[in-house]
Amino acid sequence: MTRISAISKTAKKTATIAAQVTALLLASSMASAQTARDQISIVGSSTVYPFATVVAEKFGQTSKHKTPKIESTGSGGGMKLFCNGVGVEHPDITNSSRRIKKGEFESCAENGVTEIIEVLIGYDGITLSNSIDAELFELTRKDIFLALAKEVPDPDGGDELIENPYVQWFDVNPDLPEIDIEVIGPPPTSGTRDAFVELAMEGGCKSIESIAALKESDSQTFKEVCHTIREDGAFIEAGENDNLIVQKLEANPDALGIFGFSFLEQNSDLVQPSYIDGFEPTFESIADGSYPVSRPLYFYVKKAHVGVIPGIDEFLAEFTSEGAWGEEGYLADKGMIPLGDDIREESAASIAALETMTMD
């Protein structure tokens, strides 16, 4: 009996405390229903995320403002949040691993986000690498297309498109080794995959006359042929985690993997990059554009928020300072390929003046 009453007492106590806490919570949530925000809110691309976070951290440490909050939502998802409207409940900046699309720009404008500052911050290379113990590949974009597309022109001649018949790299190009085609890459939801398909596959596509001709006559089919990766097991989707791809390459020397340049830099003792169209992906070859598979990295700022959310202008200044995005800056240390000297100087000035973009 005493035991039961003791338990009942505790239970009663717990219930009262719980009720009090609930009441408190509800009150606090009502009170805080967003009136102001003193922290920059950034959303967008997972490719820009590792670079934007470095700047944000430095900014948080060296200014009197809070460290910006950065969500990794992907370029498209970030743009959607960004374009939802002006006001503290919407993000101030969105990162993107491609330029803003016309449709997105228009939907922004419809929601009142008319003044957008566009900042091109640098480039990211996409590499096709294999284990350091394996043979070095020297590929062309055409080889990549032929090895990985779902449908390719009949190797026996004719313009007919047939299901990809190539089993070994040797079949694609006699200069390549006699091992089975096995490429590990990111899933279709990834921006890296989009860029790889657009730059490497489509680039190779264009070098095949019969398909290149399609671009003028039937651009829909052209895109479908060039952008569709084979699904018969030669291309393996490995999820969004680039570290996982590196680990798989280490375990399987016959496989090639697709991932960003910054992962190559960090793992140069485990994997080696294939040459594409005669160029090795290095800092220099990506910067001067000779390595063909690289993409621009952007971020977009809502001008209406500058001055309302404290610190945006200082954050822009930090991002566009030589110490950050310059050739010797800390972003380059993290694997971002900087822009040319004069472009940097020019855009830093226009960003400082808060010049907004237009869409042609």
Partner 1 sequence: MNNESQDTSATVSDTTEKVRKSLGKRYAREKRFKLFGVIAIVASLSFLAVLIISITIRGLPAFKQTFLNLDVTLDADTLGVDENPDEDALRKANYNGSIKNSLLALFPDVKKRKDKKALYKFVSTGGQYDLQAMVMADPSLIGQTINVWLPVGDDASGYLRGHIDTSVPEKKRRFKDNQITWIEELKADNKVQTKFNHTFFSRGDSREPEMAGIKGSLFGSILTLMVTLALSFPIAVATAIYLEEFAPKNRWTDIIEVNINNLAAVPSIVFGLLGLAIFINFFNLPRSAPIVGGLVLSLMTLPTIIISARAALKSVPPSIRDAALGLGASNLQVVFHHVLPLAMPGILTGTIIGMAQALGETAPLLMIGMVAFIVDVPTSLTDPATVLPVQIFQWADLPEKGFVEKTSAAIMVLLGFLIAMNAIAVLLRRKFEQKW
Q: Minimal distance in Å, beta carbon 21 to partner 1?
A: 4
Q: Which two tokens stand for residue 273?
A: 């990059």
For residue 195, give the nearest of 132, 250, 143, 261 by alpha carbon. 261
Tell me which amino acid residue 167 is: V
Residue 268 in the binding site for partner 1 (CB under 8 A): yes
224 binds partner 1 (CB under 8 A): no
Q: Binder to partner 1 among 44, 45, 48, 70 (CB under 8 A)?
A: 70
Does position 272 bind partner 1 by CB under 8 A? yes
Q: Which of residues 283-342 bind partner 1 (CB under 8 A)?
A: 328, 330, 334-335
Nearest to partner 1 of 140, 262 (CB atom): 262
CA–CA distance, 320 with 229 (Å, rounded to integer): 38
d(CA 111, CA 23) in angstroms, rounded, equals 36
Query: Between the CA of residue 227 and those of 126, 169, 220, 260, what are the distances in Å?
Result: 16, 20, 11, 19
Least gap, CB of 82 to partner 1 (angstroms): 13
Give the CA dihedral 14, 19, 25, 31, nearest 10 degrees: -150
Task: Give every CB contact of residue 342 below 8 A, 6+ residues apart in sequence.
Answer: none
Cα gap 198→193, rounded to integer Å: 8
Identify residues 21-60 at the interface with partner 1 (CB under 8 A): 21-22, 25, 28-29, 32-34, 37, 39, 41, 46, 49-50, 53-54, 56-57, 60
Give min distance, CB of 106 to partner 1, in A. 22
Size of the site for partner 1 (CB under 8 A): 57
Q: Measured between alpha carbons, how far is residue 2 from residues 12, 181, 248 in Å?
A: 15, 75, 63
Binding site for partner 1 (CB under 8 A): 4-5, 7-8, 10-12, 15, 18-19, 21-22, 25, 28-29, 32-34, 37, 39, 41, 46, 49-50, 53-54, 56-57, 60-64, 66-67, 69-72, 89, 132, 240-243, 262-263, 265-269, 272, 328, 330, 334-335
